[in-house]
């Protein structure tokens, strides 16, 4: 309806000019109020004088009633009306913030989410509040589980989306993410999302909660070592060994599959030539080591995955053909002698300070 009125205003603008000229000459005859009344009735304001036939001005053109000589009033009225509608649409389409205030007393934050079933998906917006009542403005959120995503809004709130995966085990579980803030004291928060997974009626699960069809990439897919073909076996010394460092979180189901199915196959395949280092991300030192290894290999926060494996010069963060790619990385490290950066110099007492130093090296 607004657009039609606007169209009338523009189409009748020339008529309005003629009508304004007529009305100026009619001020002394006491006919000023007649056009307004006529427009309200929907009739021709000139018919009462027998004047020249002209188009009836629209009601928005009656903005001239106080000053008939200002012929741009109808257009302004339409523009203002259109702007009002636009503003109203914006107010309707942009919902108000529904963030939930999360009190923060220490770097460890626990948020209970109650009971859920497999396949459930929920979202939440979190605003972290310090002891002084002020918001701890988030800079970056780093989930450690492939079932959890987190985005930081421009106002420093964190929007999370969590999916209860089909292979999630029954009972209580925790999903972990780290949040960097602008605070000089609580610059790093460990946020634990706790929930109870309810059993599904009529669903039978294997003991490990995993079906063979879900293990693509975690097990051998016919990998053939190039040592058996293109690279002579003598190029790899029997005393050579490669280090593999694996960062994982307890609540990460992808990490659990790697621990259960991928690593045992690699250790069986390579024996003493492979040294596996598992680092738990649930504690501050483990996460500090992850940040240091990311920094060493040039992995920016936005490029990070839910897990990370480094072997020699290779970093892996996705499960696609993971077993075969790991075999290739191990073989390459053994042949080239390239060392894996393990960040072993990070101790418990320096874990938080190292995290801060690494944080300052990133530009969010």
CA distance 270 to 275: 9
What are the pLDDT digits (tens) for 278-329?
A: 999 998 889 989 988 998 998 876 677 888 999 999 999 988 889 999 999 9
CA distance 27 to 235: 107
Q: Which homologous superfamily is 100-197 in? A: Immunoglobulins (2.60.40.10)
CA distance 292 to 341: 9
Residues of the chain with pLDDT under 70: 1-97, 201-217, 219-238, 301-302, 347-364
Closest CA to 364 of 126, 151, 95, 149: 151
The strand pair at 148-152 and 308-311 is best described as: unpaired
CA distance 237 to 266: 18
Could you tell me the two tokens for 49?
A: 């004088």
H/E stretch holding 333: helix 322-336
Res 101: pLDDT: 97
Could you tell me the two tokens for 40?
A: 């309200």
Cα within 13 Å of Cα(79), Cβ side: 6
Q: Does domain 212-361 have CATH number 3.40.30.10?
A: yes
Parse the chain into domains and list their residue ranges: 2-93, 100-197, 212-361
Res 338: pLDDT: 92
Q: Which residue has the tokens 């970056």?
A: 140
Q: Which residue has the tokens 């053994």?
A: 334
The residue ranges of DSSP E strands in the chain, in sequence order, are: 100-103, 108-116, 121-129, 138-143, 148-152, 158-163, 171-181, 188-197, 242-248, 274-280, 308-311, 314-316
| pTM of this structure | 0.66
Q: What is the mean pLDDT of the chain?
A: 73
| Other CB atoms within 10 A of residue 148 CB | 20
212-361 and 100-197 share a CATH fold: no
Looking at residue 326, what DSSP letter applies?
H
Res 241: pLDDT: 92
Beta-ladder partners of 188: 180
What are the pLDDT digits (tens) for 74-104?
A: 544 555 666 666 655 554 454 445 889 999 9
């Amino acid at each position: 309806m607004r657009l039609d009125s606007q169209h009338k205003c523009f189409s009748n603008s020339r008529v309005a000019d003629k009508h304004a000229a007529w009305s100026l000459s009619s001020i002394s005859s006491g006919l000023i109020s007649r056009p307004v009344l006529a427009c309200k009735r929907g009739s021709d304001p000139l018919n009462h004088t027998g004047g020249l036939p002209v188009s009836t001005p629209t009601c928005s053109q009656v903005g001239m009633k106080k000053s008939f000589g200002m012929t741009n009033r109808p257009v302004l009225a339409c523009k203002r009306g259109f702007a009002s509608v636009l503003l109203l649409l914006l107010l309707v389409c942009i919902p108000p913030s529904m963030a939930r205030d999360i009190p923060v007393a220490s770097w460890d934050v626990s948020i209970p989410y109650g009971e859920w079933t497999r396949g459930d998906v929920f979202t939440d917006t979190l605003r972290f509040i310090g002891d002084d009542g002020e918001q701890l403005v988030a800079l970056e959120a780093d989930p450690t589980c492939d079932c959890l995503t987190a985005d930081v809004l421009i106002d420093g709130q964190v929007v999370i989306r969590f999916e209860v995966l089909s292979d999630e085990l029954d009972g209580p579980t925790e999903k972990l993410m780290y949040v960097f803030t602008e605070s000089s004291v609580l610059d790093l928060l460990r946020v634990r999302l706790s929930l109870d997974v309810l059993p599904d009626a009529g669903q039978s699960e294997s003991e490990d909660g995993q079906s063979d069809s879900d293990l693509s990439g975690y097990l051998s897919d016919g990998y053939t070592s190039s040592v058996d073909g293109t690279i002579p076996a003598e190029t790899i010394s029997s005393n050579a060994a490669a280090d593999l460092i694996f960062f994982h979180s307890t609540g990460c189901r992808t990490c659990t599959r790697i621990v259960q199915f991928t690593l045992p196959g690699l250790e069986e395949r390579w024996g003493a030539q492979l040294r596996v280092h598992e680092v738990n991300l649930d504690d501050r030192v483990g996460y500090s080591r992850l940040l240091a290894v990311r920094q060493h290999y040039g992995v920016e926060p936005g490029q990070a995955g839910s897990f990370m494996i480094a072997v020699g010069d290779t970093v892996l963060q996705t499960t696609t053909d993971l077993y075969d790619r790991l075999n290739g990385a191990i073989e390459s490290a053994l042949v080239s002698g390239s060392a894996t950066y393990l960040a072993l110099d990070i101790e418990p007492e320096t874990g938080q300070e190292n995290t801060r130093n690494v944080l300052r090296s990133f530009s969010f």
